[in-house]
Amino acid sequence: MGNERFSDDYMLEKLGDAKVHFERALDCKHTDFDDLYPYMIEHPQFFWYKRYVAWSELLTIVKLCEELDIAWDSRFSAHQAEYVREKVMSGKVLDCWYETNDSKEHVS
């Protein structure tokens, strides 16, 4: 792509993809990571690592959006955007990403 600037729409699409990937990992649903490392499903630490990888991807896309002056936070609830700004995936992020555990926000 040379020195061309990514379009805002392209970056927001990638942000949406990264958010869905993180939420699928959070909900213990299938992601591309499962296809890359199918043997890891047998290991207890797999789901933690899978979530960490998805969180890192999300933070990377957010960082690129910030560097390109693309507003990313409107794609998240206020508390989710705050978690992303804090950058640390903690138990609070895992437990409280959705407003409530019975919320319809969970990805399908």
77: tokens are 């609830």
Please tell me the predicted confidence (pLDDT) of residue 48. 83
Please tell me the predicted confidence (pLDDT) of residue 17. 97
Q: How far apart are alpha carbons 85 and 83 in whole angstroms?
A: 5
Closest CA to 31 of 16, 50, 56: 50
Q: How far apart are alpha carbons 84 and 96 in whole angstroms?
A: 13
Q: Which long-range contacts (CB under 8 A, 24 or more apart) does 98-106 make?
A: 106/23, 106/27
Work out the number of other CB atoms within 10 angstroms of the CB of residue 39: 7
Q: How far apart are alpha carbons 2 and 54 in whole angstroms?
A: 27
* pTM, rounded to two decimals: 0.81
Please tell me the predicted confidence (pLDDT) of residue 105. 53
Q: How far apart are alpha carbons 103 and 97 in whole angstroms?
A: 10
Per-residue pLDDT of the chain (108 residues; tens, 9 = 90+): 444 566 899 999 999 999 999 999 999 888 887 777 777 777 767 788 889 999 999 999 999 999 999 999 999 999 999 999 999 988 889 899 997 655 445 555
